[in-house]
Amino acid sequence: MNCKNCGAPMTIMHGGNYLYCEYCSSIHFPQPNRDGVKVLGKPSKTKCPVCNEVLVTGTIADAPVLLCRTCRGIIASQSDFRYIVKRQRAHAAGPPDKPKPLDARELKRKLSCPNCAERMDTHPYYGPGNIVIDICIDCGLVWLDHGELDTIVDAPGRGRGSARRGTYESD
């Protein structure tokens, strides 16, 4: 991201919490979007498995993620994904959403891991919320389409431990 005051490139500081302009000393604190992503905007070397655009850096609950500015998907390590879900669900406000049926068509999707190019495993998520999740077991990466994190966070059972236990549950 470039500085809004002088146009110089900004540097990501302190674990991705804010951006700093070394030229004019401006500081920018990104605001989270609907999925809770603070977009830092530094291009990565990773391309989106859905639309093949370059992913940019961001954070959710201070955990690093890469996101696609085109389709708004998110990729995170499995450990960061578990942390994000646990933290976001702990801070969720309002009543949980009504459960929605799983869209079985999503199980037929074939995505390639943006890290190793192997086919990602596509299956129902065994935590709260009815979504289909894409993971690369070898690389330890989780891909979430836009809105899927919201579905997980807003699912019934927050704070009561009622989620079914599974390999990629939010603990």
Looking only at Cα atoms, what is the longest distance across the chain? 52
Q: Does pLDDT of 171 surpass 90?
A: no
Average pLDDT, the chain: 83
pLDDT at 138: 97
Q: Does pLDDT of 65 surpass 90?
A: yes
Classify 37 as helix, strand or coil: strand
Strand extents, DSSP E, the chain: 11-13, 18-20, 27-28, 37-47, 54-60, 63-67, 74-77, 121-124, 132-136, 141-144
pLDDT at 163: 34
Tell me the pTM.
Answer: 0.74
Classify 105 as helix, strand or coil: helix
pLDDT at 14: 62
**What does DSSP assign to residue 93?**
-
Query: Tell me: the pLDDT tens digits for 96-127?
Result: 888 778 888 888 999 999 999 999 999 998 78
Read off the pLDDT band of 53 (50, 70, 90).
Answer: very high
Classify 79 as helix, strand or coil: helix
Query: Tell me: the pLDDT tens digits for 140-166?
Result: 999 999 889 988 888 887 654 333 323
Answer for the pair 37, 60: CB distance below 8 angstroms, yes or no.
yes
Average pLDDT over residues 18-30: 81
pLDDT at 168: 36
Question: Of the candidates 84, 97, 88, 81, which has an alpha carbon nearest to the alpha carbon of residue 155?
Answer: 97
Q: Tell me the C-alpha distance between 35 and 73, whole Å.
A: 10
Question: Phi-psi category of 108—alpha, beta or left, where left has phi over 0 and alpha has psi -120 to 50?
Answer: alpha
Which residues, listed in sequence order, are joined to residue 20 by a DSSP beta bridge? 11, 27
Q: Tell me the C-alpha distance between 33 and 35, whole Å.
A: 6
